[in-house]
C-alpha cells in the first residue's frame, strides 16, 4: 500500500475513528491524540496487515488499543456524563445514554449499531469471539433501555 493509498483510506474513515475513540476517552484532545498515535502506529506496522480489505477493522483495533493505553496511563475512569462533541450525529439523548454505559457494551454498540459493522467484524476488531460480541450487544441494549427509561428503544 502506498502512502497515497494509506492517506485516502484513512481520510475515508476519519470521522469513524474519532467516534470510536470518543466512546473510550474523556476529552476531545485525548481522542485526537489517540487517533494520531494510532495512525502513526498503523503506518509503521503496515507490513502486519495481512488482508488489505480488512484495513479499516485493523486500524480500529489499533485505535482501541491506543485508547486503552491512554486510559491506563492516566488511570482515569471512562466518564459517565460528558458533553457530546460537535461530531455527534444521532439523537443526543441516545448518545448521552450510550456514553453512560460501561465500556465493553458501549464499544460493541458503537461499532455495531452506530458504525454499522457486522458482529463478525466487531469480533475481529475487539479480538473476542462473536458470541461475546452478541452478549455485549444484548447487555448494552438492555442497559440502554434502562438508561433511556424504556421509551427510547423498540
Task: Check the CA dihedral 117-120-123-124 and report its sign.
Answer: negative
Distance between CA 151 and CA 133 in Å, rounded?
A: 24
- Domains of the chain plus CATH, in order, are 1-78 (1.10.1740.10), 82-154 (1.10.10.10)
DSSP-derived letter for residue 112 is: I
Distance between CA 21 and CA 67 in Å, rounded?
A: 6
Asked if residues 65 and 76 have their Cβ atoms less than 8 Å apart, the reply is no
H helix or E strand, kind and range, residue 30: helix 28-44
User: In a structure prediction context, what are the per-residue pLDDT tens digits for the chain, which is 154 residues long?
Assistant: 788 888 899 899 888 899 888 888 877 888 888 899 999 999 998 888 888 888 988 998 999 888 887 766 654 443 333 333 334 445 557 777 777 888 888 888 888 888 888 899 888 888 899 999 999 998 988 888 888 776 544 4
- Check: pTM over 0.75? Answer yes or no: no
Amino acid at each position: 500500500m502506498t502512502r497515497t493509498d494509506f492517506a485516502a483510506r484513512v481520510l475515508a474513515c476519519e470521522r469513524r475513528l474519532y467516534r470510536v475513540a470518543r466512546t473510550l476517552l474523556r476529552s476531545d484532545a485525548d481522542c485526537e491524540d489517540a487517533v494520531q498515535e494510532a495512525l502513526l502506529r498503523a503506518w509503521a506496522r503496515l507490513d502486519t496487515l495481512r488482508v488489505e480489505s480488512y484495513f479499516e477493522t485493523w486500524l480500529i483495533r489499533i485505535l482501541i488499543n491506543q485508547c486503552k493505553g491512554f486510559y491506563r496511563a492516566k488511570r482515569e475512569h471512562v466518564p459517565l456524563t460528558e458533553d457530546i462533541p460537535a461530531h455527534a450525529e444521532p439523537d443526543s439523548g441516545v448518545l448521552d445514554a450510550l456514553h453512560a454505559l460501561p465500556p465493553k457494551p458501549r464499544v460493541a454498540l458503537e461499532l455495531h449499531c452506530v458504525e454499522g459493522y457486522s458482529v463478525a467484524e466487531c469480533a475481529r476488531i475487539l479480538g473476542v469471539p462473536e458470541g461475546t460480541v452478541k452478549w455485549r450487544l444484548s447487555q448494552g441494549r438492555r442497559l440502554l433501555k434502562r438508561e433511556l427509561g424504556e421509551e427510547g428503544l423498540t
